[in-house]
Amino acid sequence: MPPARPLTLITGASAGIGAAFARDLAARGHDLVLTARRTDRLEALAEELRTQHRCAVTVLTADLAEPRAVVTLCDELVARGLAVDWLINNAGYGVPGTFEAVDWPVHEAFFRVLMTAPTELAWRLLPGMRQRGYGRIINVASLAGHVPGSAGHTLYAASKAYLIKFSQSLALENRHLGVQVCALCPGFTWSEFHDVTGTRALMNQLPGFMWQTAEEVVREGYAAVERGEAVHVTGRVNRFIKALMKLLPDRLTLWLSARESKRYRALENLP
């Protein structure tokens, strides 16, 4: 049985899908631990949630690109006596440019935030969930993890494909112990993501039906993990795209990916 007030840790909680998860789960009776790099935004969101939902909200500022960030974060949870029931691994971003054009330290930081940190957080928090017989882990992946890689943002789709496979294995290993794991795979979502990567003008060329709000993504994610889905692609359009990519020959899907890369990636010298 879930606790009366589950405690949820959300990474990348200062904006977008992370902030939407915080608002949704606070309304459902969760207490929260919010973490991201921007303390001012976290504090503002925490005050909003405390006022509106009378929930306990703890702010722990962290940069998950730092090698010991997860250890420090988990040590702080232990020091405060906080046992996490829900883990939302949401922190993420994209790195524009071709692979060789980006300095290695930038790639290394990307790996830590999008792959190492969510994996380590699950490893450190999962034993407590298993011991208590209840837990939920949502790894925010992407439709990009189901379709061919594109030129530019070279590691993004690869990192999301990893989260999908990791979530599947984790779900199989833990579902009999009351811990359910889901890779949540949204497509284009209204958030700051494309502003940060400098592709907002390009993304605005996409038709409106391709987009979902962060709130829509979160509602689907909550329902999916509660149903025990190991992988959930949000939105009918995105599920159609995923199905279509499976049916088409690889050569054709790669050609389509190359064409879209030229249209929607902020790159100067794509072949």
List, in order of start, the domains of the chain with CATH numbers. 7-264 (3.40.50.720)
Question: Which residue in 93, 134, 156, 222 is the catalytic one?
Answer: 156
What would the two tokens of residue 193 be? 């993501």
Task: Report helix, strand or coil for 66.
Answer: coil
Q: Report d(CA 183, CA 168) in Å as an integer.
A: 8
User: pTM for the whole thing?
Assistant: 0.89
Q: Report d(CA 130, CA 110) in Å as an integer.
A: 29
Active site residue 222: no
- Could you read off the pLDDT tens digit of each residue along the chain, which spans 271 residues? 789 999 999 999 999 999 999 999 999 999 999 999 999 999 999 999 999 999 999 999 999 999 999 999 999 999 999 999 999 999 999 999 999 999 999 999 999 999 999 999 999 999 999 999 999 999 999 999 999 888 888 999 999 999 999 999 999 999 999 999 999 999 988 765 544 544 445 555 565 667 799 999 999 999 999 999 999 999 999 999 999 988 888 888 787 777 766 655 544 433 3
Q: Report d(CA 173, CA 232) in Å as an integer.
A: 18
